[in-house]
Amino acid sequence: MYLPQPGDYIDIHVHGGKPAFGMFILESLMAHEEKLPADVSGVAYTYGIHPWFLNEDNHEQLIISVENSINHPDIIAIGEAGFDRLRGPSIELQRLAFEEQIVISEETGKPVVIHCVRAWDELLSVHKKLKPKMPWLVHGFRGNVELAGQLLSKGMYLSFWFDFVLRPESGDLLRHLPANRIFMETDGADVDIRMIYDKVASDLDLSVDELKIIILKNFNKWLIG
């Protein structure tokens, strides 16, 4: 299993990422694709059921796939998993599959990467119901300070949507949040994670090296719960 080293840029959520010197990427594998990790330096993996690709016919098989794959040594987290009110099956089925994955997360001691679109009430409801001990990381966050506070109060981490965090107005949100609960990502888009680090470091009045130290500490804490 490869984990980030001091001085690495950490890209916490990637689809189809390409490893590079001085970078660590967390590649998202989706259960419906039935792909397993490749042994590549600089890369670790998450594995889960993306709500877009869930349906009544494949639900049971996808859960079995997660159960069978999650103990692979290079798979360090569940996900991305969660809710989407704009695309995917019924919220009821999404909730069932999500809760099943949270149970797997708790049983295996692996944290979770969350996909959530316009379903924050469902996400918070499941958190209240299951009271997970393993931490959750909400990827692609682009909400406001109030929503961020709700999620942070439940012990969650936030990774910012790459396009959002590069906008000037995101600086106000960043300055209102604890730096020890944040991450950055490219989500597989054609954007350089180093550019995102530069922007966030500037917003927080930090050097990039200082930000790297903070993000590595966040990663290690998220990973072990």
The tens digit of pLDDT for each residue in 27-36 reads 999 999 978 8
pLDDT computed for residue 27 by the predictor: 96
The strand order across the sheet containing 75-84 reads: 9-14, 23-30, 43-48, 75-84, 112-117, 136-141, 157-160, 182-184
> Percentage of the chain surpassing pLDDT 70?
100
Q: Is the pLDDT of residue 40 over 90?
A: no
Average pLDDT, the chain: 96
pLDDT computed for residue 13 by the predictor: 97
pTM: 0.95
Burial track 159-182 (b if 16+ CB lie within 10 A, e otherwise): bbbbeebeeeebeebbeebebebb
pLDDT computed for residue 34 by the predictor: 78
Q: Is the pLDDT of residue 1 over 90?
A: no
Q: Residue 196's closest CA among 215, 180, 221? A: 215
Q: Is the pLDDT of residue 41 over 80?
A: yes
Q: Is the pLDDT of residue 225 over 80?
A: no
- Report which DSSP code applies to 71: T
pLDDT computed for residue 38 by the predictor: 86
- pLDDT single digits (tens) 77-103: 999 999 999 999 999 999 999 999 999
pLDDT computed for residue 19 by the predictor: 83
- Identify the band that residue 26 occupies on the pLDDT scale cut at 50, 70 and 90: very high
Q: What is the mean pLDDT of residues 118-146?
A: 97
Q: What is the mean pLDDT of residues 142-164?
A: 96
Q: What is the mean pLDDT of residues 121-138?
A: 98
What does DSSP say about strands 75-84 and 112-117: parallel, antiparallel, or unpaired? parallel
Q: Where are the beta strands (DSSP E) in 60-135?
A: 75-84, 112-117
pLDDT computed for residue 58 by the predictor: 97
The CATH topology of domain 9-224 is: TIM Barrel (3.20.20)
Q: What is the mean pLDDT of residues 169-194?
A: 95
Q: What is the mean pLDDT of residues 126-155?
A: 97
pLDDT computed for residue 2 by the predictor: 84
